[in-house]
């Protein structure tokens, strides 16, 4: 169990840095982790949709496809929350103007 938590933590931390710089692949990888439970990550479709959405916005066709796939398993309220979280991530990750 402890190894699973460490693996999940490493996976998330290793991809979050790249995602903050707008890497579509890092965003896609995070979406996969949350949609499939990769590396012991808890499955969370809202979080997965958020990351697939960010990947899609960065130009990932795979992100677009996966976002559409998991949206079929989500309620409108869940999708709206995922979109809100994606917007919040974009604002938080954007460099501040001086």
Tens digits of per-residue pLDDT, 42-59?
999 999 999 999 999 999
Predicted confidence at residue 45, as pLDDT, reads 98
Predicted confidence at residue 98, as pLDDT, reads 41
pLDDT exceeds cutoff 60 at 97: no
Q: How far apart are CA 91 and CA 85, in angstroms?
A: 10
Average pLDDT over all residues of the chain: 89
Q: How far apart are CA 69 and CA 60, in angstroms?
A: 14
- Using a 10 angstrom Cβ sphere, with 0-12 exposed, 13-18 middle and 19 or more buried, the burial of residue 77 is exposed
Predicted confidence at residue 29, as pLDDT, reads 94
Determine how many CB atoms are found less than 10 A away from the CB of residue 89: 17
pTM of the predicted model over 0.95: no
Predicted confidence at residue 21, as pLDDT, reads 86
Label residue 12 by pLDDT band (50, 70, 90): confident
């Amino acid at each position: 169990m402890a190894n699973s938590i460490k693996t999940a933590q490493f996976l998330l931390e290793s991809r979050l840095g790249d995602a903050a710089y707008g890497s579509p692949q890092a965003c896609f990888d995070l979406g996969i982790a949350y949609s499939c439970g990769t590396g012991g990550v808890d499955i969370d479709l809202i979080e997965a949709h958020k990351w697939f959405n960010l990947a899609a916005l960065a130009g990932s066709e795979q992100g677009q496809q996966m976002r559409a796939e998991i949206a079929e398993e989500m309620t409108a309220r869940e999708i709206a929350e995922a979109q809100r979280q994606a917007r919040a991530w974009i604002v938080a990750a954007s460099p501040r103007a001086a």
